[in-house]
Amino acid sequence: MVTPHFDLLRAAHEEMLRQGFEPDFPPATEEQLAILKSQPTATVENGVQDLRHLLWSSIDNDSSRDLDQIEVAERVTGGIRVFIGIADVDSDLPLGSPIDQHAAAQTTSVYTAVRVFPMLPEVLSTNLTSLSENADRQAIVMDMVIAPDGSIGSSQIYRAIVRNKAQLTYSGIGPWLEERATPPLKVDGELESQLKLQDEAAGALREQRHRRGALNFDRDEKTRADDLIEDFMVAANEVMARTLKEHGVSSIRRVVKSPERWPRIVQLAAQYGESLPAEPDSGALNAFLNKRREADELHYADLSLAVVKLMGPGEYVLSKPNEDDAGHFALAAHDYTHSTAPNRRFADLVTQRLIKALLGQVAAPYSDGELEQIAQNCTVKEDAARKVERIMNKRVAAVGLHDRIGESFSAIVTGVTPKGVFVRILNPPVEGRLMRGEHGVDVGDKLQVTLLATDPERGYIDFGR
């Protein structure tokens, strides 16, 4: 039975420990932070450009304070020059220091429904290493020219001092770019033109990516501002991966291999009268998804959720300069890494250290063996983080759904495993186990289910047919 006194915060902390995380920072953290806070603010030095005069801005969630990236653009011969500044977290986080060791072990921030467990202390991630408004900060800048056809004509990476002139939000900028609202108060004439230029560049990148076969699920409520940032971050990650490879630097790549259950995806397409190739083909899959979204936008979320589940998870791998890796199937990208969120992902921080070593013409800070171990740990911890987030979402849902036992819901099958069959109801969006009537169903099947029971302590939500 659900009790009104179930402690979700305690449960989240315990679940972190159960999944191999250490949710509390080590004892030496405060001493290291005290030293960092006493250091001078960012200054221009050899090899560092001063780009504080540019009209940088950031777009993030309403509550975000750990700002990893800022953007600015200008029209040039050959297209639109886009600058993407990434917070130089490494400058405030010495390799091998207590906080760095903690980050290396955790590898990621974990976002539960009741509490965030940050990879880095908030003094760093939301202050010293955040690209906060009107603060001078060190950054790694990806500087690229986007051609009218969306290709990246030229690119370079360098260190710089930057200043975020406007901290903006998806909720404020998205509706304005979509011409559904007036611009936010911060967006004056010059910044308005600047953001529209960024939107133009992002749109060209997006169209080019989709032409080469990148998948476009768009299951969540996204605005044009979300798309803008996503398009820029994908481009930045591709530029970073190619730059390291071209200079003979081993790195950590982010790969999504060909779908684990492609035959089932082919079967799903056949149910809609469509034919997909026998071998995985991202372009063909994307064309099918786009066609289904146009034909039945209301139920498209069901289909795209099933395809996501059948795709299988991404992973981190060691990439050596003379070896090919699997690439990123969903993005149709051969060269791809993670580099744009060093405040919350350790793989991004490692990539940052590799590019800084290259720029400084010094030896790489990690051996191939160390990179391989880091990649494996990042993959393991990413999976563990998903488990923490999933079980906590279920516990919160179990508390919230307790009074709806016996009600009927529309659902879609999201998993068929030796442990059981799992379904997701769409309103509210909650996943649980199908305890009755599970035989003969497969991922993607649509069902009508009844809520049988909830157990927040174990995170169980049971449905039946």
Confirm whether 381 is domain-assigned.
Answer: no
Residue 7 pLDDT > 80: yes
**Which tokens in the block code for residue 27?**
């004892």
Confirm whether 51 is domain-assigned.
Answer: yes
Mean pLDDT across the chain: 92
How is 218-280 classified by DSSP, letter by letter?
A: --S---HHHHHHHHHHHHHHHHHHHHHHHTT--EEEEEBPSPTTHHHHHHHHHHTT----SS-
Q: What is the DSSP letter of 44?
A: -
pLDDT digits (tens, 9 = 90+) for 330-350: 787 888 999 999 999 999 999
Confirm whether 376 is domain-assigned.
Answer: no
Place of tokens 């009074």: 403
Query: Taking the model in full, what pTM does it have?
Result: 0.87
Residue that terminates a domain, selected from 187, 211, 246? 246
Q: Determine the Cα–Cα distance for residues 422 and 413; give it in Å rounded to an integer.
A: 6
The predicted pLDDT at position 218 comes to 63
Neighbours of 103 (CB within 10 A): 27
Q: What's the domain count of the chain?
A: 2
The predicted pLDDT at position 324 comes to 78
CATH number at residue 432: 2.40.50.140
Confidence band of 6 (pLDDT split at 50, 70, 90): confident
Q: What are phi and psi of 448, to 5 degrees?
A: -110, 120
Confidence band of 429 (pLDDT split at 50, 70, 90): confident
Neighbours of 272 (CB within 10 A): 12
What is the residue range of 436's domain? 405-464
Please list the helix, strand and coil fractions of the chain in percent, rounded to the nearest 5, in that order.
40, 25, 35
Average pLDDT, integer, range 404-425: 92
Q: Determine the Cα–Cα distance for residues 166 and 192; give it in Å rounded to an integer.
A: 11
Confirm whether 362 is domain-assigned.
Answer: no
pLDDT digits (tens, 9 = 90+) for 292-313: 888 887 678 778 878 888 888 8
Is the distance from CB of 334 to CB of 327 less than 8 angstroms? yes
Residue 3 pLDDT > 70: no
The predicted pLDDT at position 46 comes to 77
Confirm whether 344 is domain-assigned.
Answer: no
Confirm whether 132 is domain-assigned.
Answer: yes
Confirm whether 48 is domain-assigned.
Answer: yes
pLDDT digits (tens, 9 = 90+) for 112-125: 989 999 999 999 99
Confirm whether 3 is domain-assigned.
Answer: no
Residue 9 pLDDT > 90: yes
Residue that terminates a domain, selected from 192, 216, 246? 246
Mapped onto helix, strand or coil, the DSSP state of residue 69 is strand
Q: Determine the Cα–Cα distance for residues 308 and 287; give it in Å rounded to an integer.
A: 15
The predicted pLDDT at position 96 comes to 95
Is the distance from CB of 51 to CB of 162 less than 8 angstroms? yes
- Percent of the chain having pLDDT more than 70? 97
Is the distance from CB of 209 to CB of 73 less than 8 angstroms? no
Residue that terminates a domain, selected from 246, 280, 299? 246
Calculate the dihedral angle through the C-alpha atoms of 128, 134, 137, 139, rounding to the nearest 10 degrees: 120
pLDDT digits (tens, 9 = 90+) for 381-408: 999 999 999 899 989 999 989 889 999 9
